[in-house]
Structure 1
Amino acid sequence: MTSPLTGVRVIDFTHVLAGPACAYYLGLLGAEVIKVERPERGDAMRHRGGTDPARSANGMSTAYVTQAAGKSAITLDLDSADGKASMQDLLRSADVLVENHRPVTLKALGLDEGSTLALNSRLIHCAMTGYGRGGKNEDAAAYDVNIQATSGIMTLTGTKDTGPLRTGAPIMDYSVALAAGFAIAAALFEREKTGKGTFIDVSMLDTAYTLMSSTITDFLATGNVPAARGNAANSRSPGAGSFPCKEGVLSLGVNEESQFRALAIGLGRADWLTDPRFAERQNRKQNAPLLEDVLVEALAQRSADDWEAHLLESGVPVAKVRTLPESLNTPHSKARGYLHHDEQTGLTVPSLPFRIGQTVAHCPLGSIRELGADTEIILAQFRPSPSDESLS
């Protein structure tokens, strides 16, 4: 069975998390991915990230291997004439270039979008940067934490007491990787019609804004500056938020009248449906603190595990607040087949959050390669064979 991107060659000239993750996702969909690194040390993420210093010292940090499987690994000295010539050969043979370097760096290397598209008019050149092209910050260095700070996301997280908080996971890196993959797929589809490649400009800051789309619309329409709301739901509906139980915490997403009815009946509090303080949405909003009190009182009778199972059967949007180990161990998470076990490293890593038809979450991937392991075999593709030389 072929995968969606079988036959597509991707040059992965990236580092850290966002760029390598994008190329990894393309590989999971069947693309051939060739990772280009600098000699000696390679991608700095090989040596940092995660909580296992021994793996990091060996150039195989958990942060690196998360998005490294299945890629050929080559090293090129792009400051040398030979290295530049080899990179140009790769780009002429490629369908996609994925990179996350500052424009000024690319210009110095002769790998800016004007140069790459001149080499290969069918190339899809996808650039991921902190701020995107245009504006005074286009050459500014930026990591996930910087974009969370400058975008406003941090001011939406936490409470008045905690102040702004960074989201625990590197959401910007992986959101940008998915956004770039979406754009590349669209550009490949367009190329089928036009025969021409294009340049894709992916901004981490724009992606952060996209994650806040409805919040931004509300602010621009009303002028109401969004504030940190802790664990309260964005819907601002009474009955939507996180509530303690006899054991554990339960997240409720009760926004519709039918859902409130299901909640009341599921909790054995059908009297709320005729109580003038709670019977109508507007009354519940006016009496939100009181509703929260009676909810906590009702939920204190059973554990979060018990309430989750019972209320889900009742049609209530509900979930127990879990740790990551607890979440990965649920029967549903296991049934999805989202995690992929790598035999070479013995590590289990994430794959893709979607299926296409009956295609599995990922196509079989090769091993995670040591720095420069495939340099000779890849570059040999561009050298004349002995028979060719004898004919010249």
Structure 2
Amino acid sequence: MTRPFHGLRVIDFTHVLAGPACAFYLGLLGAEVIKVESPGRGDAMRHRGGTDPDRAAAGMSTAYLTQAAGKHSVALDLDDKDDRQAFDDLLATADILVENHRPSTLKRLGLTWDFLHAQNPRLIHCAMTGYGRGGPREDAPAYDVNIQAASGLMTLTGTAETGPMRTGAPIIDYSVALAAAFAISTALYERERTGKGQFIDVSMLDTALLLMSSNITDYRLTGHEPRPRGNAANSRSPSAGTFPCKDGQIVLGVNEDHQFRALAHVLDRAGWLTDPRFADPQSRVSHGQDLSEALTEALSTRSAGDWEELLLANDVPAARIRTLPEALADPHLNARGFLRSVEDLGPATVPGLPFRYGVRSDHQALPAAEQLGASQSRAKTPTILRKQKA
């Protein structure tokens, strides 16, 4: 795998999910990552119980380990004179500082941009906060679920009966991590031209709103407030969405006329193409309930797995609804090498990056991803994290 960030040093002064994930991604791309934690307890995410309380009690929760591999760890008390000097020495050797602390915390510690830039003009300082700098809530604490609420995202999820619901995974945290890594990459590119680092302000709220870009544009232009649509497709096409099958459920993404024609032939319902209710896109929208009932009846004759295979073979966008274990067992995922083994975790794997560099001329899958070292996963408790000078 290409390692474009080989030779770069990242100081990971973060906690919880978004910040550690960002630093983890930089490490996957070759950077040396040094994670700075508080003495004794370390990153609070080490102790988040989940379904493995024994690991959490030992300071090695599964949530922590997901984005811990390959990093070096050091415990520093920044209110201690010697430890603060060690931290400053590390920053003097660093290319990138990644942190997700409130501005007031950085100000108290004297870690302002003016100070950091004066000490290391080439340093890129990436700050991730809930609401970003420059507004009345710039110092407000926030987690993923708070931002899902504040952004309006929760009101788009669920149904009228359930009311607002958060997404099943912390998508804001991981989206912020990717946004920050993207911003850092562009800052590194600019540094090649100017020789100077810069400050990057990443907002969780802005990122959440970015994920709803088309909804926002539609609302601002039309004034129509978006409502929760359950499992209906965002396209509002009546031939897209979730449908029950003989066994399981399938999600169709049939939005274009040629896709609907292919769907009708696969379902052995060629008559739909001359039925005045379904013959053209506008008629299908006008008779959406009739089409939904017809699709449900047609799909009830086979399992979701069978329909998925048939539909994809005929270029109809479709996917059966899988559980997470089923999705992780998909041979396609293994062929891509997306899940990576982690040293000291036995058969366990963690997600890597959603992209790869290079394509083999024979179009075969690239070799399985290399094993990730997990230097701090060897520590059994955070209390033995070693203090070190830079």
Q: Bin the TM-score by the shorter chain.
A: over 0.9
Secondary structure of the structure 1 residue equivalent to 2:158: coil
1:365 aligns with 2:372: yes
Contact 1:130 1:205 in 2 (8 A): yes
Taking a change above 3 Å as real, the CA distance of residues 113 and 362 of structure 1, as seen in their structure-2 partners, is farther
1:217-296 aligned at under 5 Å gives the runs: 217-296=217-296
**Could you tell me which amino acid in structure 1 is paired with residue 233 of structure 2?**
A
Indicate the larger mover: 58-67 or 325-334: 325-334
In the alignment, is the contact (CA less than 8 A) between 1:73 and 1:373 conserved in 2?
A: no
Q: Tell me the SS of whatever aligns to 1:225.
A: coil
Tell me if 1:38 matches 2:45: no
Tell me the residue number matched to 2:357.
356
1:356: Cα distance to partner? Answer: 1.7
Could you say if the C-alpha distance between residues 226 and 361 of structure 1 is closer, same or farther in structure 2, counting changes exceeding 3 Å? farther
CA contact (8 A) 2:340 2:372 kept: no
* Kept in 2: contact 1:247–1:304 (CA 8 A): yes
Q: CA deviation at 1:114?
A: 2.2
Q: Calculate percent identity across the aligned residue pairs.
A: 66
Q: Where in structure 1 do 4 or more consecutive aligned residues deviate above 2 Å?
A: 358-365, 370-376
Separation in 2, partners of 1:282, 1:100:
49
CA distance in 2, matches of 1:62, 1:141: 24
Give the 3-state SS of the residue equivalent to 1:187 in structure 2: helix
The DSSP-based 3-state class of the residue aligned with 1:220 is: helix
> Structure 1 unaligned runs (5+)?
383-392
Q: Per-residue CA shift, 1:32-71, capped at 9, x if unaligned?
A: 0000001010101001142100000000000000000110
Structure-1 separation of matches of 2:49 and 2:91: 30
How far 1:210 moved relative to its partner? 0.5
TM-score normalized with structure 2 length: 0.94
Query: What is the one-letter code of the residue matched to 1:187?
Result: A
CA distance in 1, matches of 2:113, 2:273: 62
Alignment-mate amino acid for residue 323 of structure 1: T
SS in 1 for 2:200: strand
1:102-117 pair list within 5 angstroms: 102-117=102-117
> Could you say which residue in structure 1 is the equivalent of 2:187?
187
Cα pair distance change 1:328/1:65, threshold 3 Å = same
Question: Within 1, Cα distance between the matches of 2:375 and 2:145?
Answer: 27
**What is the aligned length?**
379
Work out whether residues 29 and 363 of structure 1, in 8 Å CA contact, stay in contact via their aligned partners in 2. Answer: no
Residue 374 of structure 1, CA deviation: 6.9
1:305–1:237 Cα change, 3 Å: same
Alignment of 1:1-392 (within 5 A): 3-346=3-346, 347-357=348-358, 364-369=371-376, 370=379, 371=382, 375=386, 379=389, 382=390
Partner of 1:386: none
Give the secondary structure class of the aligned counterpart of 1:118.
helix
For 2:309 and 2:245, locate their aligned partners in 1 and report how far apart those are by CA, in whole Å: 14
Instruction: Provide the C-alpha distance between the structure 1 equivalents of 2:386 and 2:109, rounded to a whole number of angstroms.
Output: 20
Structure-1 separation of matches of 2:2 and 2:171: 31
Between the aligned partners of 1:172 and 1:373, the Cα distance in structure 2 is 32
What is the deviation of 1:221?
A: 0.5
8 Å CA contact 1:74, 1:373 repeated in 2: no
In structure 2, the partner of 1:385 is none
Contact 1:144 / 1:172 at 8 angstroms: preserved in 2? yes
Summarize deviations over 1:244-303 as a string: whole Å, max 9, x none.
000100000000010000000010001101111100111101100000000000000000
Distance 2:196 2:5 in 1: 18
Shift of 1:86: 1.0
Alpha-carbon distance, 1:120 to partner: 0.6
State the Cα deviation string for residues 166-187 of structure 1 (Å, max 9, x = none). 0010000000000000000000
SS of 1:335 mapped into structure 2: helix
Looking at structure 1, the residues matched to 87 and 162 of structure 2 have their Cα atoms a distance apart, in angstroms, of 49
1:372 to partner: Cα distance = 7.2
Measure the CA separation in 2 of the matches of 1:114 and 1:363: 40
Q: Contact (CA 8 Å) 1:251, 1:320: kept in 2 or not? A: yes
Letter in 2 for 1:351: G
CA separation of 1:146/1:104 partners in 2, compared to 1, >3 Å: closer, same or farther?
Answer: same
2:363 alignment counterpart: none
- Matched-pair contact (CA < 8 Å) for 2:40–2:384: no
> Any conservation in 1 of the 2:340–2:351 contact (CA below 8 Å)?
yes
CA displacement at 1:2 relative to structure 2: 5.9
- 146-155 or 346-355: which moved more? 346-355
Q: Structure 1 residue 365: deviation in Å?
A: 2.8
Equivalent pair of 2:39/2:385 in contact (CA under 8 Å)? no
**C-alpha separation in 2, matches of 1:19 and 1:186:** 18
Q: TM-score when scaled to structure 1?
A: 0.94
